[in-house]
Structure 1
Amino acid sequence: MIKRSICIFPFFENIDKLELWREKYDPLYGKIAPHVTLVFPFESELSSKMIGSHVSNALKEIKPFELEFSGFSVENDSFLFIDVERGYDTIVQLHNRLYTGILKQFLRKDLPFKPHLTIGRFVSDHACEEAFQVVSEENLTFQTAVTEVVVEVIEEDESSTVECRIRL
């Protein structure tokens, strides 16, 4: 079984600040680049070719688009997010298209889909709230053009390996 997810790996000109926050607050810093998850992690025996073909077909009508993040939110008292301001509807559309066909069985109905980029993960709600206060003092916006979607393999140590890139 291979553990995978499908993501967008945005590039921001001002990524340094984001990476400073992630280094401080996100235990996955250094294992996976900043990303927007489109398909939550799933395990399967699907081949790379099958997954790549599905993603390519599901997204064939989607064109490159602008993505902008600003504002912060806390989820479940343990996750700190920077929220999607522009491109939200397109992200939701990508998510919905990908969870069809061979990936339909992996749809997580227990996790509501809210487009975001994770800045931190915490074991206590107090630590999460403190981090939220720190990052909320900044008035930063992160912008990028999305031109591809990535299928990643999640290794045993939780690091990410790009399996394939699908251009929009």
Structure 2
Amino acid sequence: MKYGIVIFPSKPVQDKANSYRKRYDPHYALIPPHITVKEAFEASDDEIHQLIPELRAIANNTEPLAININKVSTFAPVTNTIYMKVEASQELVNLYEKLQSGNFPVNKEFNFVPHITIAQKLSDQEYADVYGSLTMKDMQLEDKIDRFQLLYQLENGSWTVYESFIFGKDAE
């Protein structure tokens, strides 16, 4: 089964992202706005059950963190993807790096660029228009993050939460 690890921002940040995603992101119905901290990977039920204690330990040793979004950016010319850029705080980078070590599969396809996708798979013309208009909008958002989620992918391509891991929580 395919799994991934993400951070879901608060409802106000998700609402802001969704105001663009519903028009410009074909994955809008498949997953809520999120910050990917571990790219999708394949794992068996046994492998996931072995990773869960490790995920719990990482969460227990991570303090809640603040994220700041201060602009719209893009992955062009690689792809016509537009995103809300999340500042790469040391705490966020540390969390990402912990999820790339230990028993976790090594699957870093790209450098870690914390972001919330708001548009993707646009034609060149549509990309130019949308990116041009979004760069003129104010994107000053702050959020407090206190958990990450292990997701799994359903047969229809949508993602759902397998388990949430709360930061700084005592081990169960």
Q: Same fold (TM over 0.5)?
A: yes
Match of 2:60 in 1: 60
Distance 1:94 1:153 in 2: 20
Deviations 1:120-161 (A, max 9, x none): 112433322221112112112222110111000012222111
- CA separation of 1:132/1:51 partners in 2, compared to 1, >3 Å: closer, same or farther? same
Deviations 1:15-42 (A, max 9, x none): 4332110101111112211100000001
Match of 1:101 in 2: 102
Match of 1:130 in 2: 129
Identity of aligned residues (%): 23
- CA separation of 1:71/1:78 partners in 2, compared to 1, >3 Å: closer, same or farther? same
Say whether the 8 Å CA contact 1:5–1:42 is kept in structure 2: yes
Say whether the 8 Å CA contact 1:6–1:39 is kept in structure 2: yes
Ranges of 4+ aligned residues in structure 1 off by more than 6 Å: none
Say whether the 8 Å CA contact 2:41–2:107 is kept in structure 1: no
- CA separation of 1:46/1:89 partners in 2, compared to 1, >3 Å: closer, same or farther? farther
Say whether the 8 Å CA contact 2:17–2:116 is kept in structure 1: no
Q: Which sections of structure 1, spanning at least 5 residues, go unmatched? A: none
Q: CA deviation at 1:46?
A: 4.4
Match of 2:170 in 1: none
Q: Which amino acid aligns with 1:79?
A: T
SS of residue matched to 1:102: coil
Distance 1:55 1:14 in 2: 25
Task: Tell me the matched-pair count.
Answer: 164
> Which structure 2 residues correspond to residues 70-149 of structure 1 after superposition, within 5 A?
70-75=70-75, 76-85=78-87, 88-103=89-104, 105-108=105-108, 110-149=109-148
Moved more, 49-58 or 30-39: 49-58
Distance 2:60 2:13 in 1: 30
Distance 1:13 1:145 in 2: 11
- CA separation of 1:92/1:126 partners in 2, compared to 1, >3 Å: closer, same or farther? farther
- CA separation of 1:59/1:14 partners in 2, compared to 1, >3 Å: closer, same or farther? closer
Q: Which sections of structure 2, spanning at least 5 residues, go unmatched? A: 168-172
The answer to which structure has the higher strand fraction is 1
Match of 1:35 in 2: 34
SS of residue matched to 2:137: coil
RMSD of aligned C-alpha atoms? 1.8
Distance 1:14 1:152 in 2: 20
